[in-house]
Amino acid sequence: MKRVYIYRRFERFWHWTQTLLILFLALTGFEVHGNFSLFGFNKAVLLHNNAAYTYMIILVLIFFWLFITGEWRQYMPKRQQIVDQVEYYIKGIFQGKPHPTHKTVYTKFNPLQRAAYFGLNFIILPTMVATGVLYLAFYEFLKTGEGYAIRPIAYIHVVGAFLLLTFVIVHVYLTTTGYKPLSAIKAMITGWEEMADEEAEVVVRENIRMAMQCSRREIIDSGGVEDIKSFDEVLSRELSGTNAMMIDFQKKLLQSKVGYFRIDVNGVYVEVNEVWKELYAQTGIKDPIGQHYTLNRSDEDKKVVEQIFKQVVSGKTITGVKLTRNTTDGKRLHHTLSASPWYEKNKIVGIEGYIIGVDD
Amino acid sequence: MKKLIQVFLVIIIPEIVIFSLIWFINPDKVPMPFNIEEIIVTDLEKMPADHSSFEELNKDFKTGQEVTEACLSCHTGRGQEFMNSVHWQWLKHDTLINGDKVILGKKNVPNNFCIGVTSNMNYCSKCHAGYGWTDNNFDFKNPKNIDCLVCHDNTRMYKKTFQGLPDPKVNLKLVAQKVGHPTKQNCGHCHYQGAGKDNGKHGDLSKELNNCERDFDVHMNAKGKNMSCTKCHITQNHTIRGNMYTTSTSNENRATCTECHTSTPHKSKTLNSHFNQIACQTCHITKYATDAHTFVWWDWTNAATKKNGEVYADEKHITPDSTVLDDTKHGQQIYVKNQKPSYIWFNGNAKIHMFDDKITESPLVMNKLYGSYADNITPMDPKNPSKIFPVKLMRGKQPYDIKNKTLIQVNTFGAEGTGALWGDWDWDKAINNGMKAIGMPYSGSFGFVETVSYWPINHTVTPAETSLKCEDCHSKHSVLNGLDKVYIPGRDRHIAIEAGGVILIILTFLGVVGHAILRMRAKN
């Protein structure tokens, strides 16, 4: 068993806030609806309203976060593998077959989850908010003589409440279909999900691939100056995580087209991987080991890499810097560079890092 | 350990903070609530001058008219002023919601208690603020006929008798010297006694108000503010504010709670928001007739019938709070105590059924109070959208002209030989007398039509702690169960949604349990 980091801090925060709010709103809401008596109607209304205002604020934060981080893309329904997923739940799960899809930081949801969460986040919740707001605003409108029929609004709100309850039941049940029955819930609490070794390998590789894709996209978007935190975060997390360390990272980097290099304090290459060599193939450099990092760079680029080297050797981590390399036939190729100090016995003995080609 | 701290920071602590805010913050609180203590009830009880020192009043008055003359000799112009008032005319100009002008009042409006005043003035004028109104020949232009004392007597000794004349036992000199602003007793002299019985007509106006406890009426509480009627029914130049919707049709000149209490009197915004749809009375007057019985049924069908040739009266208790009286004089009456009001939508506009209006329905509504839930969306009268009001319903059966399809005025009061119902026990003679007096044709054949009238409950406001609670309306056993169009949270539900929702949840639950069992089996 290994653990892989899936849920970020804010995600975990809003998930549990949302959970408690939905349950609390259901409790107070059904009391207001007259199904039972617990707090008393007066208090139930007050608590329901307060929880509703809070939820609206949290929803604004969630949606802001979803759109800023691009996470919303994960909620867009897709047809691919939806049949596999259905088949898994009605057949495969009983035969002990593996999940047809993998959970990574970048694709947390299987196609059924996408459909369900899309419905939840983009249909049911907005409907509940809209009907709730109309409900709250009714008297303001009434005051100005512009009342409207509250009955259909209330009925829609009740329908939404039943659907939310149904969602909660199914959702809680499906959390037990992970690696172990409590794996999914633990993951939502700590961020780290337990997985089988093979699954974890696939997921970590996928995470890195996606991180690189994202960083590449963002580097291109921002013209190379953006600090790519997500890439760095994922990589460092994959490397520092206790269990993830067991995975052959170099192998994965090779598969995922990340060039790796290590340079000692004197600026001399100590190690590069095959991908690095592939990226530099057209520059006439076959094997850089033993050579200085300035290599065949132009004077301008030399200044940049010297600058970077100085910074990293003095302890800083640099991510997503865009660099150029000159080919033998005079072309200029581009890649991004992320580098961090290479420690040995708490002393910086050089730098190591990754390069990703951005020309394709 | 580090993980634990993170879980604390990311999940547990934020949730504790969020839910404590939800629990303790009260955005419903009105920041600057209306403070009743700021309302000062001014004292008008003392008269500016000691009338006992006036030469004009130092006489042995023989008649009420002589007193009135003395009053008007100083209070010049007040006579003319008063003679324009409803208390004198028993008529007023009003408008219907469609703009039509009407003239109506106690004088010409039929009711479903004693039916109507015309032809019975000898008796009914006991409550006219004048002297000698016996028939249609009464001189409404003669200020000497004004009865000043019935409203301004402060000795509580003044009494009126038939034809509106002072009881001969009354010491008019003493009463005249002790006049003052009208007290509860003055107004109550007539207004408590509608239909000839304390609390009989309105159900919320009885002698008890003269000296009541806080629990009975917060405003008139003798140990509290002890407000008189005119504190709310503000009076200027003898024009008294207030409408009774059995003789009014428009939302004019009403005495309202908001005058003092504002339209946002509560400390809770949610409670204040009820103002748009709920009249204050609805929550703050939860019962009526708590002290004295009030009529809810008067069936004239068996009036003027005798048992074994004798005039009879049988009184039976149906329940501890309700009594039925079968007698020759009235037919059948039911009077009750401790009633909960009925509730209606009302927008302050009414239509009064008059003697010359055709009867087109049964039960015939004597005073149609307009208003409906639809007013919330498209108000019939945009200035006065409907609100839910408490009312007392008065039902009964009364004579009508079968051929002309109109209500009948009956001459009820009179001595034997005059043709009055209570004198000769003869319907035909009584109807002939009554119809002649109101100048309406009578076909000769009469029947009994069921009628209903609505009596808005406005008095006996009880302390806040005894008002309706949320659950009184917002529950399955809502007191507003008669009003089905409006959506009331906690009361209303759509059966299909409810059933569908419960079935969905049960099926989901079963599905989940079934799936789990299959999974466990597959594992084993």
pLDDT per 10-residue tile (average), chain B, 524 residues: 80 92 93 85 72 92 96 94 95 94 96 96 95 94 96 94 95 94 94 94 96 95 92 92 93 91 92 93 96 96 93 94 96 96 96 96 96 88 91 97 97 94 96 96 96 97 94 95 92 95 96 92 80
Whether A50 and B7 lie within 8 Å, measured CB to CB: no
Mean pLDDT of A185-189: 89
Which residues of chain B are within 8 Å of residue A51 when distances are taken between CB atoms?
Answer: 22
What sign has the CA pseudo-torsion B11, B12, B17, B22? positive
Query: What backbone phi and psi angles, to 5 degrees, belong to B15?
Result: -65, -40
The residue among A5, A15, A27, A45 with the most chain B CBs within 10 A of its CB, best to mutate, is: A45
Residues A267, A349: contact at Cβ < 8 Å?
A: no
Query: From the candidates B12, B274, B372, B376, which should be mutated to test the interface with A, based on the most A CB atoms within 10 A?
Result: B376
Contact status of B47 with chain A (Cβ, < 8 Å): no
Chain B positions in Cβ-Cβ contact with residue A181 (cut-off 8 Å): none
**pLDDT bucket at A10, cuts 50 / 70 / 90:** confident
How much is the pLDDT for A305?
87
Mean per-residue pLDDT of chain A? 81
Q: Answer yes or no: is B334 within a domain.
A: no
Helix (H) or strand (E) holding A248: none
Q: Please name the residue that has the structure tokens 């009268």.
A: B381
3-state SS string for B8-43: HHHHHHHHHHHHHHHHHCCCCECCCCCCHHHCCCCC
Residue of A nearest to B383 (CA): A145
Chain B positions touching A173 (Cβ under 8 A) are: 512, 515-516
Task: Show the domain range for B505.
Answer: 493-524
Smallest CA–CA distance from A146 into chain B, residue: B377
Cα angle A214, A219, A223 (rounded to 5 degrees) comes to 155
d(CA A172, CA A179): 15
Identify the pLDDT of residue A247.
44
Greatest distance between any 2 Cα atoms in chain B: 115
Test A155 with B25 for CB contact under 8 angstroms.
no
Helices (H), B109-267: 121-124, 149-152, 172-177, 184-191, 229-232, 258-261
pLDDT above 70 covers a percentage of chain A that reads 80
Task: Classify residue B433 as exposed, middle or buried by CB count within 10 Å of its CB (0-12, 13-18, 19+).
Answer: buried
Do the domain assignments include residue B356?
no
Domain contains B185: no
Q: A96, B475: Cβ pair inside 8 Å?
A: no
Q: Is residue B463 a part of any domain in this protein?
A: no
Nearest Cβ partner for A45 among B3, B270, B500? B270
pLDDT for position A272: 87
Q: Pick from B266, B205, B199: which is nearest to B31 by CA?
A: B266
Cα B492 from Cα B189, distance rounded (Å) = 45
Nearest CA in chain A to B524: A94
Q: For residue A247, which phi and psi values (nearest 5 degrees)?
A: -80, 145
- DSSP, collapsed to helix, strand or coil, labels residue A60 as helix
What residues 434-493 of chain B have any CB closer than 8 A to a CB of chain A? Answer: 469-471, 474-476, 487, 489-493
pLDDT at A300: 81
Do the beta carbons of residue B372 and residue B420 sit within 8 Å?
A: no
Can you tell me the distance from the alpha carbon of B296 to that of B342, in angstroms, rounded to the nearest whole number? 12
Residue B153 Cα distances to A175, A191, B424, B437, angstroms: 84, 86, 37, 33
pLDDT score of B187? 96
How many residue contacts between A and B have a Cβ separation below 8 Å?
Answer: 133
Given an 8 Å threshold on Cβ–Cβ distance, is B276 in contact with A142?
Answer: yes
Tens of pLDDT, residue by residue over A25-53, are: 999 999 999 999 999 999 999 999 999 99
Contact B377 A165 (CB under 8 A): no
Select the residue from A144, A166, A185 to test the B interface by mutation, using most B Cβ atoms within 10 A: A166
Rounded to an integer, what distance in angstroms lies between the CA atom of residue B376 and that of residue B43? 40
B500 — contact with chain A (CB < 8 Å)? Answer: yes
Q: Does B3 touch chain A (CB under 8 A)?
A: yes
Residues from chain B that touch A162, judged by Cβ atoms under 8 A, are 497, 500-502, 504-505
Q: Tell me chain B's radius of gyration from C-alpha atoms.
A: 29
Structural domains for chain A: 2-195 (1.20.950.20), 258-357 (3.30.450.20)
- Residue B53, burial from CB neighbour count under 10 angstroms (0-12, 13-18, 19+): exposed
Which residues from A are below 8 Å from B374, CB to CB? none
pLDDT interval class at A226 (50, 70, 90)? very low
> pLDDT per residue over A52-82, tens digit each?
999 999 999 999 988 887 788 888 888 878 8
Residue A244's pLDDT band (boundaries 50, 70, 90)? very low
Cross-chain CB nearest to B476 (options A34, A169, A173): A34
pLDDT, tens digit, for every residue of A256-295?
A: 667 888 899 988 998 888 888 888 888 888 888 888 888 7
Contact predicate B367/B352, CB 8 Å: yes
Domain assignment of residue B522, yes or no: yes
Per-residue pLDDT at A246 exceeds 50: no
Evaluate whether residue B498 is within a structural domain.
Answer: yes
Burial, B130: exposed, middle or buried (Cβ in 10 Å; 0-12, 13-18, 19+)?
buried
- Closest-CA distance, A144 to chain B, in angstroms, reads 10
- The structural domain count of chain B equals 1
* Contact residues on chain A for B519, CB-CB shorter than 8 A: 93-94, 177
Residue B428 falls inside a structural domain: no
The three-point CA angle A316-A322-A323 to 5° equals 100
Give the one of A41, A148, A177 whose C-beta lies nearest to B377's C-beta.
A148
ipTM, two decimals, is: 0.89
In a domain, B297, yes or no: no
Which residue in A has a C-alpha nearest to residue B522's C-alpha? A94
